[in-house]
Amino acid sequence: MDNFKFYVPTDIRFGKDRLADELPEALNVYGKNVLLVYGGGSIKKNGLYNQVIDLLGKNQNIVVELSGVEPNPRIETVRRGVSLCREHQVDVILAVGGGSTIDCAKVVAAGFYSEEDPWAIILGRKGYQGEALPIVTILTLAATGSEMNAGAVISNLATNQKLGVGGPSMIPKVSFLDPANTFTVPTYQTAAGSADILSHLFESYFNVTPGTDVQDFVSEGLMRAVIKNCPIALKSPDNYDARANLMWASSLALNGLTRNGKHGVWSCHAMEHELSAFYDITHGIGLAILTPRWMEYVLSEQTVTKFAQFAHNVWGIKEEEPIIAAKKGIQATYDFFKTCGIPMTLPEVGIDDERFAEMAKQAVAHSTIKADAYVPLAEADVEAIYRECLTESNFV
Amino acid sequence: MDNFKFYVPTDIRFGKDRLADELPEALNVYGKNVLLVYGGGSIKKNGLYNQVIDLLGKNQNIVVELSGVEPNPRIETVRRGVSLCREHQVDVILAVGGGSTIDCAKVVAAGFYSEEDPWAIILGRKGYQGEALPIVTILTLAATGSEMNAGAVISNLATNQKLGVGGPSMIPKVSFLDPANTFTVPTYQTAAGSADILSHLFESYFNVTPGTDVQDFVSEGLMRAVIKNCPIALKSPDNYDARANLMWASSLALNGLTRNGKHGVWSCHAMEHELSAFYDITHGIGLAILTPRWMEYVLSEQTVTKFAQFAHNVWGIKEEEPIIAAKKGIQATYDFFKTCGIPMTLPEVGIDDERFAEMAKQAVAHSTIKADAYVPLAEADVEAIYRECLTESNFV
């Protein structure tokens, strides 16, 4: 196990019916001028927007809105948010939405204190050490874990770039996690969010650092919680406990719990970010498509033990022979995504092989997967994995 | 899943060789006057004491010592600590040791701000809302999880009471977790500490709240990490990764991760606290002795499903028939503790049946196990469980 720091000071308020009593108090610590950040308007349909506006009104907040944050939030929207914060002397940012909204809020929060253009912060990558406006979130989608970590991913369609950034000041101060706020998430987004959670777990689980049983076994537990509860939520969208388990799993899957103490970089996220950057597809869907193909591609004598452990402990596969167990685990992963209604080939989401070479080049250029991934991936490897996603797969 | 708050702002510095670079900076935030709290002198034998004193000297700290904290820390020691803090205008408490030392430091920290005698804080139980001096810890034993939570347990031998207290200000600000600092922990204490970790997990795992898969599956993972790594640490005391997994598991087992979102009170801890209060035995040993007998005692048609899940997911028992699987899981728990070298009967630790009735009465009086336990326990139940611990057991 590597040395690590674990410091996650987000105050999580999990459960139903907490906003009326707790939201005003959470905001008042920082001031009365609020930037309300949200996405495409789903919170207007389900009543959450009205509830929040009503509470903020009674609390004498002065509210400025940054709405229309995109599913892959764009740098232009961040710039708009920074201008609003400066113009209206915003004290605190309230992000109501999923990971995209929260990610956008984080970079707005940092951008407020930066003299450079916000894209410069992104290009600085994981090392933002400056100040940021305080952020409070109300989560409406179980997926990215952004509600309990310091990271953000922003897209720049002008340059076909989708890049991550992070820094200690960007972690939300308080996050409200009410599973009932995810009852209206459509099945496709519920499945995509679950795939995103699983991918966060997979990416750190398949890792070369020895002696990380705590991280690995906790990760297996979180995977099983998602695998059990996602189908329940798909069938019964207002099943509170299923939504609760997905929501809490989303936060724990990416707050450091399963990743700290390990080194190396993620593979599928690097490859998926290019799909989203070039084609603006749903992040979790891209991950679900890539992951089983990546698993098969990196399965070898060196990795088979971990893949067999994955098959046994996560999927309950009884097969003893490691290589067969491993393949069955990969098949189970693929079948799970398919059963959740996720289109499992790239053509189904509008991507053909035309830009594979270009995206593979970018995936390697924008990350260190060539040197630091679980199994190092060069451009040819990435392109081969993309190519495997052109048609349905069978792994056993 | 119940509503819960998860707010664990302890800054964990996990790993080796961090003190020289990080300890002075962690203390300087609060001031130069340090109360150094430690136990019976094991840190003098293994060199940690000298290392810390050296660092504090170079950092120009003024150090006052509270040494000799007992394995079940006593209220008299807390009083002594409070006096020292007042006399020397202490700014920050540095606790170097295991859970007892850290627990003692927490109540000293709170007592400093209280006009009442510190035992009044304990009698106030879980509700301390006042201020406390800041606490930094250097952990030397994987067991209680006190390094990453707000709770403390203090004994009053004058009244045969061992009671818990807690409050948000009592959570350590920074905790240094270096697995190498546990290399010199003797096998008996290593086993007792592992039993303590497992007990924390068991107590919240066997619980009536429905829909808590995340908490339960994470808990199963942590249990497996302890079960795998404790025997390695017993055999090879300086196996870094085994010690690392036990240490990180100890913190995660009692920081809320596996407990939040559930209601009800713990059973075995309430029963064990009386054993320690009356006979001053090692806490983890008492828990190991009681736990399998308690499991069998509460096994019923109502609880068999959870016990079978425990057997399958934690012990890898293949048996399908729930009641047989459940019993095999209990047997595996008992056998595990025995294999770790823990004396598994009360007479082996100097306890006969003389005070069973009195202790059973206290266990019920000092807790709400009669109403709120996983399976409610009255005095007669507690006494029956104590009685089962008089001889070796067989559960299958």
Report the residue count for chain A: 396
Any idea which of A271-280, A315-324, A375-384 has the lowest mean pLDDT? A271-280
At A125 the pLDDT is: 66
Q: How far apart are CA A125 and CA A145, in angstroms?
A: 18
Looking at residues B184-196, what average pLDDT do you find? Answer: 97
Looking at residues B50-69, what average pLDDT do you find? Answer: 98
Q: What residues of chain A, 170 to 199, have a C-beta less than 8 Å from chain B?
A: 179
A67-124 per-position pLDDT tens digit: 999 988 999 999 999 999 999 999 999 999 999 999 999 999 999 999 999 999 999 8
Q: In CATH, what is the architecture of B11-181?
A: 3-Layer(aba) Sandwich (3.40)
Is the predicted pLDDT of residue B260 greater than 90, yes or no? yes
At B126 the pLDDT is: 61
* Nearest residue in chain A measured CA to CA from B5: A13
Looking at residues B344-370, what average pLDDT do you find? Answer: 97
CB-CB contact of A224 with A167 (8 Å): no
Residues of A with Cβ-Cβ distance to B249 under 8 angstroms = 214
Q: Which of B4, B228, B240 minimises the CB distance to A15?
A: B4
* Superfamily for the B187-388 domain: Dehydroquinate synthase-like - alpha domain (1.20.1090.10)
Query: Is this complex's ipTM strictly greater than 0.95?
Result: yes
Instruction: For residue A235, give every residue at least 6 positions away whose Cβ sits within 8 Å of its Cβ, in sequence order, or none.
Output: none
Shortest Cα distance from A244 to chain B (angstroms)?
7
Query: In this structure, which amino acid lies at residue A147?
Result: E
* φ, ψ for residue A263, nearest 5 deg: -120, 170
Element (H, E) at A27: helix A19-28
Q: What residues of chain A, 218 to 257, have a C-beta less than 8 Å from chain B?
A: 218-222, 224-225, 228-229, 240-242, 244-245, 248-249, 252, 257
Q: Which of B11, B214, B241 minimises the CB distance to A249?
A: B214
Q: Which of B10, B252, B261 minimises the CB distance to A14?
A: B261
Q: How far apart are CA A267 and CA A290, in angstroms?
A: 10
Domain A11-181 and domain A185-388, same fold? Reply is: no
Mean pLDDT for all residues in chain B:
96
A153 closest CA partner among A26, A290, A272, A297: A272
Residues of B with Cβ-Cβ distance to A261 under 8 angstroms = 14-15, 244, 248
Is the predicted pLDDT of residue B194 greater than 90, yes or no? yes
Is the predicted pLDDT of residue A180 greater than 80, yes or no? yes
B16 touches A at CB < 8 Å: yes
Looking at residues A286-303, what average pLDDT do you find? Answer: 98
B75-134 per-position pLDDT tens digit: 999 999 999 999 999 999 999 999 999 999 999 999 999 999 999 999 986 689 999 999
Report the residue count for chain B: 396
Fold held by A185-388 = Dehydroquinate synthase-like, alpha domain (1.20.1090)
A139 touches B at CB < 8 Å: no
B294-311 per-position pLDDT tens digit: 999 999 999 999 999 999
Element (H, E) at A175: strand A174-177
Contact A16 B2 (CB under 8 A): no
Query: In this structure, which amino acid lies at residue A379?
Result: E
Q: Which of B5, B18, B245 minimises the CB distance to A214?
A: B245
Mean pLDDT for all residues in chain A:
96
* Nearest residue in chain B measured CA to CA from A173: B7
Contact A218 B8 (CB under 8 A): no
* φ, ψ for residue A34, nearest 5 deg: -115, 130
At A221 the pLDDT is: 98
A34 closest CA partner among A67, A61, A11, A73: A61
Is the predicted pLDDT of residue A217 greater than 80, yes or no? yes
Strands (DSSP E) contained in B116-216 are 135-139, 151-156, 161-166, 174-177
Residues of B with Cβ-Cβ distance to A168 under 8 angstroms = none
Residue spans of the domains in chain A: they are 11-181, 185-388
Looking at residues B357-382, what average pLDDT do you find? Answer: 96
* Nearest residue in chain A measured CA to CA from B228: A213
Q: How far apart are CA B91 and CA B44, in angstroms?
A: 24
Q: Which of B4, B6, B7, B22 to mutate to test the interface with A (most CBs of A within 10 A)?
A: B6
Q: How far apart are CA B144 and CA B130, in angstroms?
A: 23
